[in-house]
Copies of this chain bind each other. A is one copy, B any other.
Amino acid sequence: MTTREDLAKWDAQDPLAPLRDLFDLPAGTIYLDGNSLGALPRATAARVQEVVTREWGAGLIGSWNSAGWIDLPHRVGDKIARLVGAGPGELVVADSTSVNVYKVLKAALAIAAADAPGRNVILSERTNFPTDLYVAQSVAREHGCELVLIEPDEDPADRLDDRVAVLMLTHVNYRTGRMWDMAGITAQAHERGIVTVWDLCHSAGAVPVDLTGAAADFAIGCGYKFLNGGPGSPAYVWVSPRHADRFAQPLSGWMGHAAPFAFTTDYEPAPGIARYVSGTPAVIGTAALECGVDTLLAAEPYGGMVALREKSLALTRLFADLVDERVSGFDIESPRDDEQRGSQVSLTRPEGAYAIVQALIARGVIGDFRAGQSGLPDILRFGVTPLYTRFVDVWDSVEHLRQVMESDEWRDERFSQRLAVT
């Protein structure tokens, strides 16, 4: 049996351990919700202050040139590209995940209409993150398409027929942490003439992603989870260079124009990924996002995403094993197979998921609750972030869970009072 002392040794020997110092983590808290909002990097506060006081306050409008604001979406985009197997100039920071889903779905339908005309199905999965489904419903309605949802236990390959124009999947599922085989599924889709859209919200910065190697078509993702960009951070969008110049996405704001400062009357899309920018870039938020992305790039001398992945799998494996050994009454919803598991462990129970999460939060162990979707059970989510999660944190979290259950503490009615945001 593993002991806490064993895990303290693991931490002491962990070559990634120094990376924890890149973060400002509150004392007395074990933060297992970096899959919902990444923790604050130590560099961010000073950098944001610099943007506000020096660049905006002193530099004023001139900082669009002198502080490089105009290039910021591309500069930070190039950094994110390194985390997801994309090339420089292929990925840009812009807008929110929801808005970017809209852009790439419209573009993917246009590419599909050109290359494999007459198809009218967008295929996705029922437990995809709701915003992806909501936007897909809207796009399907606008284009006279049908949104078809497979069940989470179905193999998408079985549904890739010649009615399907676009397959949109989230690489790592937000509920269970289950990870799709991006390269294999993309290849199967392409064999059938289907364009792929990958949502990387729970995978970029959490698992190695290789968009180029997978020959993917479109990808989007958010900045505030594993990229540590801060609350409501701008999102990003990637388009394969095969497709980038073939379609002008419809949110054709001036910053995606070939020459924004020519102030011409007619829209002319910029070449490449720049056309996926719409309005004026969110400078402060993008600067904060850069600090977050830098925390992941700081792992490059330590082995980068491969080393982070190895630690992440060890942490989640440990979490699941300790729950098995030490706590009863929970099912582990996340795949036990390393190949299929992202950077989280999700538990289910017939009752009490919400209250148990709240009782843990009261003890300083911060995971989160996600309401059951489509008849599936409520879940307790525990995300690990190998940049700052320690092995003893996993031990202590499971120990708190054990105590919360054994003491029936979670049945205290204050833990059942629903907050606005869960």
Q: How far is the CA of A91 from the CA of B320 in the complex (A)?
A: 46
- Residues in B neighbouring A24, C-beta threshold 8 A: 53, 57
Please determine whether B95 and A96 come into contact, CB atoms closer than 8 angstroms.
yes
Contact A257 B57, beta carbon cutoff 8 Å:
no
Q: Check: A329 CB closer than 8 A to any chain B CB.
A: no
In the bound complex, residues from chain B placing their C-beta under 8 Å from that of A137 are: 252, 266-267
CA–CA, A62 and B39, complex, Å: 12
Copies in the complex: 2
Given A130-B263, A131-B253, A366-B61: A282 in contact with B232 (beta carbons within 8 A): yes
Whether A53 contacts B65 in the complex (CB less than 8 A), given A102-B250, A251-B138, A261-B421, comes out as: no
Taking a contact as CB atoms closer than 8 A, the residue among B70, B130, B248 that contacts A420 in the complex is B70
Residue A281 interfacial (CB < 8 Å): yes
What residues of chain B lie closer than 8 Å to A284, measured between beta carbons? 48, 230-232, 284-285, 288
Cβ < 8 Å to B, chain A residues 362-413 = 366, 368, 370-374
Residue of B nearest to A222 (CB): B280
User: Across the interface, which residues of B come within 8 angstroms of A61, CB to CB?
Assistant: 33, 36-37, 366, 368
User: A44 to chain B: which residues have CB within 8 Å?
Assistant: 52
Which of A98, A234, A419 is most buried by chain B, counting CB atoms within 10 A of its CB? A98
- The reply to whether B232 and A138 contact each other, CB–CB distance below 8 Å, is no
Q: Is the beta-carbon distance between A421 and B64 smaller than 8 angstroms?
A: yes
Q: Cβ of A298 < 8 Å from any Cβ of B?
A: no
Nearest residue, chain B, Cβ from A268: B134
- C-beta contact mask, A249-277 vs B, less than 8 Å → 1, else 0? 01111110100111111110000000000
Expressed in whole angstroms, the Cα–Cα distance for A79 and B367 within the complex equals: 34
One of B60, B102, B282 near A234 (C-beta < 8 A): B282
Find the B residue at minimum CB distance from A67.
Answer: B231
* Minimum CB–CB distance for A305 against chain B, Å: 24
A284-321 at interface with B (beta carbon < 8 Å): 284-286, 288
A interface bracket (residues with beta carbon within 8 Å of B): 35 or more
* A279-B252 Cα distance, complex, nearest whole Å: 18
Residues of B within 8 A of A19 (CB): none
With contact pairs A265-B149, A267-B137 given, residues A39 and B52 touching in the complex (Cβ less than 8 Å): no
B56 touches A49 (CB 8 A): no
Interface: A416 (CB within 8 A): no
Nearest B-chain residue to A254, judged by Cβ: B131
Chain A residues close to B by CB (< 8 Å): 24, 26, 29, 31, 33, 36-37, 39-40, 44-45, 48-49, 51-53, 55-58, 60-65, 69-70, 95-99, 101-102, 126, 129-131, 133-135, 137-139, 142, 149, 222, 224, 230-235, 248, 250-255, 257, 260-267, 278-286, 288, 361, 366, 368, 370-374, 419-422
A-B contact pairs, 25 of them (CB 8 A): A49-B49, A52-B230, A65-B419, A70-B420, A95-B95, A97-B279, A98-B252, A99-B251, A99-B278, A102-B250, A102-B251, A131-B255, A137-B266, A138-B252, A230-B283, A232-B282, A232-B283, A232-B285, A234-B282, A261-B371, A261-B421, A263-B370, A264-B373, A265-B374, A284-B288
